[in-house]
Amino acid sequence: MARGPSLANKCQILFGGAVLLILAGALAAPWMRLESVVEESQREMSRQLAETWVGNGFALNRTEGIPIPIRVVPIEHIEDGGSTDPFVDAAYREFVVGPGVDEFFTSIRGKDGIVYRYARAIREGQWRAIQDRQFVDFSARASETALGDPLRAILVIERTSTFAAQQILASRWYIIAGGVLAVGLAVVVFSLILTKLIFSPVRRLRASAERVRRGDLTVRSALRTGDELEELSRAFDEMLDEMNRGHQSLWAMNESLDLKVIELSEANVGLFESNRLKSEFLANVSHELRTPLNSIIGFAELLAELARNDPAADPKRVRYISNILTSARMLLDMINELLDMAKIEAGRMSLAVVPASIADILEGLQTIMRPQAMSKQLTVTASIESDLPSVETDPGKLQQILYNFLSNAVKFSPAGGEIRIAARAVSLDSRVAVRISIADDGPGVPFDLQETIFEKFRQVDASHTKSHSGTGLGLAICRELATMLGSTVGIISEPGRGSEFFVEVPAFFRVIERKPLMPLTGGGRVAR
């Protein structure tokens, strides 16, 4: 960014301009008054000369051998049109129009100096008192005497003064030189004062701030001016002290945090390894448990078949074998759920994404769940839009999600109830999707549990005396599988009025890239 004028230059320019304007305004009055004063002195000199001539009756055009530029113009000469001098005509008009006006004065600049022209009205009384009879006719005029004291002549004095012009010019040069000198001295004095009292402390503060900007928190300005700048310096130094203490405290906290991060990283590595070993153990154990359990279920089914075909079989034997089969199948479901969760956590759950028909998936589910629904006299109804789009997904994983929803609906619905399956097209984040919902008439889910019902090992009735068995992993597996498919799951429920579980599947599958929680610098990767 371009840097503008410094504070010192701004102050000098502004102060110099202000002083120049003030002095120009102050000297404008004597500048203009000077010419008026000189003109008034010349008028007074011409007046005194005219008074001397009129009072003493000196001869025209000379006094003691010195020529005097005086002439008398009789009124008859002016009235007859014999005057060719515009100044005399102007003076005559002034004297005639204003009877009380006896003087007329003008000045013009000539090539040799200033020409001052003075006109004096000579009326009847003065005219007769003039002693020079060579030019004066003292014969009485009755008509004029009757008019009182009429105008008889005009005394004209015309003087050229080179000295007055030189004095005016010299005086104005003195005014200009004095003003320039005053402005220069004022600027110099003001600059010295500003430099000593303001600019020098400000430069020290700026230098200190620049060192702080570069990271040096040990610098102190320590001004001793005894004014507001010292208070500013003290506040600046106190701020630096506080910043230094805060910096040291942050440094200590950072060191402590670094140690904690190292400890947490080591603990995280251990936990990750433990979690991986746990997941692998569960996957292996669950897989190994299914082999003997399948044998138990197989032999129990064989014993049940033999007991049903033996007319003499003890009814208790049939009931006991049936209980073994039921418990074994429940245990197999739990093991399958643990195995699926272990695979998901271990990252060993793979997807096979292909175009799938929602209608075909729902039809197959109804066929699978019909025996369980009939055992509880449940009615299963389906409402599927006819123009549903096909979706890109893993049909097996989507069927597993819907199977868990249907199993819960059958489990929690009262005998003789109804289960409603619906599928319709919706918009999911500006994308075409299909919403599949399964609603039941069960007890519903409390509002405070609807946010956590999809977490691991979460159940509405978690007491030891709960009426429905299960591990609490079914809905958690549904959410994990839905996340893998780019889908979302949710619940709409009201206690005592049933529940509606739904999944929204986008029409086009999109791989979700998971960002690491703590990305490493330098191109490193976070272990997964």
- 112 φ, ψ (degrees, to nearest 5): -100, 0
Which residues are CB-neighbours of 340 under 8 A, at least 6 positions away?
A: 349, 400, 473, 477
- 253 φ, ψ (degrees, to nearest 5): -65, -40
> Residue for token digits 């791989």?
511
Q: In the numeric block, which tokens belong to residue 204?
A: 């020290």
**Stretch(es) of the chain classified as CATH 3.30.565.10:** 352-506
CB 236, CB 221: distance < 8 Å: yes
The string of pLDDT tens digits covering residues 176-206 is 888 788 878 887 887 787 777 777 777 777 7
The string of pLDDT tens digits covering residues 213-266 is 787 777 777 777 777 777 777 787 788 788 888 878 888 888 888 888 888 888
The confidence score (pLDDT) of residue 519 equals 47
At 115 the three-state DSSP class reads strand
The string of pLDDT tens digits covering residues 7-32 is 667 776 777 778 778 877 777 777 77
Give the separation between CA 516 and CA 528, rounded to whole angstroms: 9
Confidence bin at 421 (pLDDT 50/70/90): very high
Over range 71-100, report the average pLDDT. 78
The confidence score (pLDDT) of residue 146 equals 38
Q: Which CATH architecture has domain 352-506?
A: 2-Layer Sandwich (3.30)
**Stretch(es) of the chain classified as CATH 1.20.120:** 247-349
- 353 φ, ψ (degrees, to nearest 5): -85, 125
Give the separation between CA 99 and CA 212, rounded to whole angstroms: 88
Give the separation between CA 492 and CA 148, rounded to whole angstroms: 128
Give the separation between CA 40 and CA 347, rounded to whole angstroms: 114
Pick from 54-58, 125-129, 414-418, 493-497: least confident: 54-58
Residues found in the chain: 528
Confidence bin at 512 (pLDDT 50/70/90): low
Q: Is the dihedral of CA 238, 239, 244, 250 positive or negative?
A: positive
The string of pLDDT tens digits covering residues 109-164 is 877 778 888 888 888 777 766 645 444 444 444 334 335 577 888 888 888 777 77
According to CATH, the topology of domain 247-349 is Four Helix Bundle (Hemerythrin (Met), subunit A) (1.20.120)
> Residue for token digits 């013009």?
108
Reference 76, options 99, 92, 90, 91; nearest CA is 92
